[in-house]
Amino acid sequence: MRCMSKERHEALGLSDDQVLEMFKTMLLARKLDERMWLLNRAGKIPFVISCQGQEAAQVGASFALDRDKDYVAPYYRDMGVVLAFGMTATELMLSGFAKAEDPNSGGRQMPGHFGQKKNRILTGSSPVTTQVPHAVGVALAAKMEKKDFVSFVTLGEGSSNQGDFHEGLNFAGVHKLPVITMVENNKYAISVPIEKQIASKNVSDRAQGYGMPGITVDGNDPLAVYEAVKDARERAINGEGPTLIEAVSYRLTAHSSDDDDRQYRESDEVEEAKQKDSIITFAAYLKEVGILTEEVEKELNQEIGSIVNEATDYAENAPYADPEDALKYVYEE
């Protein structure tokens, strides 16, 4: 039975179909990620760096942006962002298998180094935080050309200690640029816990020094993140400058498939975090308001299962790049 009072998503201007699409995107990111871990353990793909636990922040933020105009500079965990912006499950699997058709790099880059011109996804690189000045540069172009788009950049809380973070946000604040910076605080910078990374209570406290608003939101709540990013985008488009958003969640997996997180955190801590998993809590909300019925949930799981299976089969059987293709785009060719 549908509740009579106005629901949270309706108050934010989101339709039933939109929030169901948000959940579908979150679930697709989770199922793709889980499949990639299985493929890695089977020796079929070399490396996985997970989005698990951070899908709500990624998808909630993306739905608050104009996905036909805005630019995104994602960091390596942002499978939810790039899926929301138009990258397909098959394209992500091609990247995982390092095949020639990988749209990010033609199989040259590690998985998680996203980049796709047609969907305005800025190419990322292995040194962390280098995407921040790039996103600020895109925002500068928007201001100079008087265009009504924003740039959106994400990073982990550990990356907020890098020089690129300071330089990028300082420049954005000085020039009031239309850039939104979202720190996905998952509590660990590889093996270093948050309390050994940052002296302030929140990463968002740093915004004051850059002359911009700083907001901390529940990263497990896609609607809270949606609202924060929507407000930040309105500020940016209205010429009021940048915003720093901290979305607090938890990294449910090890740092990567090459990491053993048992060396630095207790399993009880991970299990406790799993109780707040956004895939569970957002599904519960959608069920409570009558959107995610048993029939819809069954159809959704079947559809996503088929998408993941088809993406896996296609990517596994796709050709690798020719060895001489390693020379492409390096010199004149």
Q: Is 251 a catalytic residue?
A: yes
What is the rounded CA–CA span in Å between residue 281 and residue 194? 24
What is the rounded CA–CA span in Å between residue 271 and residue 256? 18
Beta strands 179-185 and 151-156, pairing class: parallel
- DSSP-derived secondary structure letter, 245: E
| Given the residues 9, 76, 251, 285, the one annotated as active site | 251
Q: Is 166 a catalytic residue?
A: no
What is the rounded CA–CA span in Å between residue 36 and residue 87? 16
Q: Is 255 a catalytic residue?
A: yes
Beta strands 188-189 and 192-193, pairing class: antiparallel
| Given the residues 264, 265, 314, 320, the one annotated as active site | 264
Using alpha carbons only, what angle is made at residue 131 by residues 140 and 122, rounded to the nearest 5 degrees? 80
What is the rounded CA–CA span in Å between residue 43 and residue 53? 24
Q: Which two tokens stand for residue 283?
A: 């599904």
| Given the residues 30, 210, 255, 285, the one annotated as active site | 255
Burial class (CB in 10 A: 0-12, 13-18, 19+), 16: middle
* Active-site annotation, residues: 251, 255, 264
